[in-house]
């Protein structure tokens, strides 16, 4: 089991995933709202927790720490696992640019 202090030392905020994820997505996903499949919490991807020191980027829910997204790049292959995300929502502004969602975060009971 991982020591909580050790995990905190290697944890980044998920804004750090924006560059690598731009290889796969043409929009800035840090403003996208991800709904955790585990606890139902809605939060912008930038508010999630990123662990970038594994073979893949691992993004965890800020509420329950469940894995929401895994992303890996190897040569000419990109892999995205969204098993832990019930939904990923990107809100576009009228001009087609990415905007911040007006939706209020869901607070699980």
Domain count, the chain: 1
Tokens 């965890």 -> residue: 60
Closest CA to 103 of 42, 45, 60: 42
Residue 65 lies in a domain: yes
Q: 3-state class of 69 per DSSP?
A: strand
Q: In angstroms, rounded to a whole number, what is the distance separating the alpha carbons of residues 13 and 20?
A: 14
Asked if residue 107 is part of any domain, the answer here is no
Residue 108 lies in a domain: no
Which of these ranges, 45-49, 57-61, 96-100, has the smallest mean pLDDT? 96-100
- For residue 109, is it within any domain? no
Structure confidence by residue, pLDDT tens digits, 40-57: 999 999 999 999 988 899
Partners of 50 in the beta sheet? 12, 59
pLDDT band at 24 (very low <50, low <70, confident <90, very high): low
Contact 36, 66 (CB under 8 A): yes
Distances (CA, A) of 49 to 29, 65, 95, 104: 14, 8, 30, 19
Asked whether residue 106 is domain-assigned, the answer is no
Domain range for 40: 4-99
């Amino acid at each position: 089991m991982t020591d909580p202090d050790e995990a905190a030392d290697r944890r980044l905020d998920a804004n750090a995933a924006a560059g690598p994820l731009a290889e796969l997505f043409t929009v800035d996903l840090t403003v996208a709202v991800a709904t955790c499949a585990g606890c139902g919490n809605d939060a912008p991807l930038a508010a999630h927790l990123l662990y970038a020191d594994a073979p893949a980027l691992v993004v965890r829910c800020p509420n329950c720490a469940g894995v929401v997204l895994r992303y890996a790049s190897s040569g000419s292959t990109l892999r995205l696992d969204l098993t832990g995300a019930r939904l990923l929502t990107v809100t576009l502004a009228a001009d087609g640019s990415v905007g911040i969602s007006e939706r209020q975060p869901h607070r699980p009971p």
